[in-house]
Amino acid sequence: MRPLSRPSSARAAASLREPRMQPVRRMKPSAMSKRKVKDSSAESAESISQMQKILRERFCHHCAAGKLAGMEQQYRHLLELLKRTTVHGESNSALLIGPRGSGKTTLLNHVLKDLREMKEVRENLLEVHLNGLLQTNDKVALKEITRQLQLENVVGDKVFGSFAENLAFLLEALRKGNRTSSCPILFVLDEFDLFVHHKNQTLLYNLFDISQSAQTPVTVIGLTCRQDILELLEKRVKSRFSHRQIYLMNSFNFTQYMKIFKKELSLPDEFPDETFAQKWNNNAQHLSEDKTVQDVLRKLFQHSKELRSLHSLLMLAVSAVTVHHPLLTAADLQEASRQHSSDSKANIVHGLSVLEICLIIAMKHLNEVYDGEPFNFQMVYNEFQKFIQRKAHSMYNFEKPVVMKAFEHLLQLELVQPLERPAARAQREYLLMKLLLDSSQIMDALQVYPNCPTDVKQWAASSLSWL
């Protein structure tokens, strides 16, 4: 065989001088665009998640965005009161009084937030939060105070003669090493009027007594919607209260309400994704100028001026935001308004049986005939029997025990309520009842009731002369 010839020196030199070009692998445009879209969607999902977290915390925890609207004077008063306690060690007591939803909790949270950011305060303030709905007696309240002050190990199995001795021991345990100074403590009593009903008002008496003495810097802040709260206090408790009262009222007009809507929906300047925050805030501005959105908010404003209702509406709307729907629209707020104003009792009616619907219609007619007077089961059963006889339908002909069982189910659902607590041997058929639904609620519920028989609808819509 002929041996392979070697390349000439010239050809070898040329091959060394001119390196072979490697083919460049180019990514298809579609693949590059898909990767960009995927990255942007991931960033968008992260931004939407952070946005919803911030707004949920704001709406659920009553943390107002920016300055409080219409509460500037009350804010300064409460802030100065708490500063005197934390900085100078003064003891105080005060009541925040206002209707539900007027911003009592929001004002207090705002003041505490600003107080914690002050250099002279730092972590010098201990807080104890009690609620009259949860701490139903002094024993439960004292246990909660011990837990929040983290003194369970200090108390141990010690036995105290009275509530005052127990509370005094807790405060003594908080004193510093030289036993001459103590950390200031803030007691916040939400639903303050419910603590008034505790036996002898012992908790209130001891807290106000300590706040009046110079032993431990203690401030007691009560939140209540009762305007006559001072009249409910015992004489000895009232004498130890400072009589400081801070009143709150929803005094803003609709123009200010729209500004609050925009502020509550806006993202803060320190939001990580500046581009998304700018788009979101610009969209909030456009929404506040939209006629449809203004109509939705005006309806809510006329029904209730409390910011809690606005927060509930915005919570429902923000929940509709997704990666594919990153910004709120007027339609989202309309749908949130529809859900927010939906009737919970009417929704219960949607899940009832036809027999239970018939009993409710019978009660509706009894209310119309007897002008809202109470009725009993026997009257409802007789009315139902009249309907069966007119229509001659065997499909509605249930035995009386079955009808009674359906009536008791309506009682459990609290659509019907007895006028008084029944005696042990009372006949159930003759207990006086009242219907907790009005005619409009019943008719609206029947319009959307699935597969409701036509004759039942006609019976519900019939006039008094047809009875």
| Residue 174 is assigned to a structural domain of this protein | yes
Statement to judge: residues 390 and 455 lie in one domain: yes
Number of domains in the chain: 3
Residue 342 vs residues 95, 100, 316, 317, 419: alpha-carbon distances, Å: 35, 21, 13, 15, 27
One-letter amino acid for residue 210 of the chain:
I
Identify whether the C-beta of residue 272 lies closer than 8 Å to the C-beta of residue 50: yes
Statement to judge: residues 83 and 206 lie in one domain: yes
Statement to judge: residues 211 and 101 lie in one domain: yes
Statement to judge: residues 371 and 462 lie in one domain: yes
Strand 92-97 to 245-247 pairing: parallel
Give me the pLDDT at residue 178, please: 41
Out of 210, 226, 247, pick the residue that ends a domain. Answer: 247
| Residue 137 is assigned to a structural domain of this protein | yes
Residue 290 vs residues 262, 284, 330: alpha-carbon distances, Å: 12, 10, 8
Out of 190, 215, 247, pick the residue that ends a domain. Answer: 247
Statement to judge: residues 214 and 235 lie in one domain: yes
385-394: Cβ within 8 A, 24+ apart: 386/467, 387/358, 387/361, 387/362, 387/459, 391/455, 391/459, 393/455
pLDDT-derived band at 419, boundaries 50, 70, 90: confident
Statement to judge: residues 94 and 227 lie in one domain: yes
Nearest-angstrom CA–CA distance, 59 and 49? 15
What is the CATH classification number for the domain harbouring 162? 3.40.50.300
Look at 76 and 121; give whichever has higher pLDDT.
Answer: 76
Nearest-angstrom CA–CA distance, 401 and 201? 50
Give me the pLDDT at residue 62, please: 61
Statement to judge: residues 77 and 221 lie in one domain: yes
pLDDT in tens, 441-451: 788 788 777 77
Over its C-alpha atoms, the chain yields an Rg (Å, rounded) of 34
294-301: Cβ within 8 A, 24+ apart: 294/258, 296/330, 296/333, 296/334, 296/337, 297/254, 297/257, 297/258, 297/261, 297/333, 298/254, 299/337, 300/337, 300/340, 301/254, 301/257
| Residue 48 is assigned to a structural domain of this protein | no
pLDDT in tens, 280-305: 999 999 998 989 999 999 888 888 77
What is the CATH classification number for the domain harbouring 376? 1.10.10
**Confidence check: pLDDT of 18 > 50:** no
* Residue of 217, 64, 203 lying closest to 130 (CA atoms): 203
Statement to judge: residues 336 and 451 lie in one domain: no
Statement to judge: residues 360 and 293 lie in one domain: no
Give me the pLDDT at residue 177, please: 40
Statement to judge: residues 355 and 382 lie in one domain: yes
Residue 118 vs residues 79, 111, 125, 321: alpha-carbon distances, Å: 11, 11, 12, 36
Identify whether the C-beta of residue 339 lies closer than 8 Å to the C-beta of residue 435: no
* Residue of 145, 75, 143 lying closest to 109 (CA atoms): 75
Statement to judge: residues 379 and 313 lie in one domain: no
Domain that holds residue 283: 254-342
**Confidence check: pLDDT of 65 > 80:** no
Statement to judge: residues 78 and 212 lie in one domain: yes
pLDDT-derived band at 467, boundaries 50, 70, 90: very low
Out of 212, 247, 282, pick the residue that ends a domain. Answer: 247
| Residue 50 is assigned to a structural domain of this protein | no
For the sheet with 126-131, list strands across it: 126-131, 185-190, 218-224, 92-97, 245-247
- Of the listed ranges 29-33, 253-257, 330-334, 421-425, the least confidently predicted one is 29-33
Nearest-angstrom CA–CA distance, 214 and 217? 7
| Residue 52 is assigned to a structural domain of this protein | no
Give me the pLDDT at residue 69, please: 66
> Across all residues in the chain, what is the average pLDDT?
79
pLDDT in tens, 351-402: 788 888 889 889 888 888 888 788 888 899 998 888 888 765 656 778 888 9
| Residue 111 is assigned to a structural domain of this protein | yes
**Confidence check: pLDDT of 28 > 60:** no
pLDDT in tens, 315-348: 889 888 888 888 889 999 988 888 777 667 777 7
One-letter amino acid for residue 166 of the chain:
N
pTM score, whole prediction: 0.61
| Residue 102 is assigned to a structural domain of this protein | yes
pLDDT-derived band at 426, boundaries 50, 70, 90: low
pLDDT in tens, 391-405: 656 567 788 889 899
pLDDT in tens, 159-185: 666 777 887 787 777 655 444 466 788
**In the chain, what percentage of residues exceed pLDDT 90?**
9
pLDDT-derived band at 6, boundaries 50, 70, 90: very low
The overall longest dimension of the chain from CA atoms, in Å, is 127
| Residue 439 is assigned to a structural domain of this protein | yes
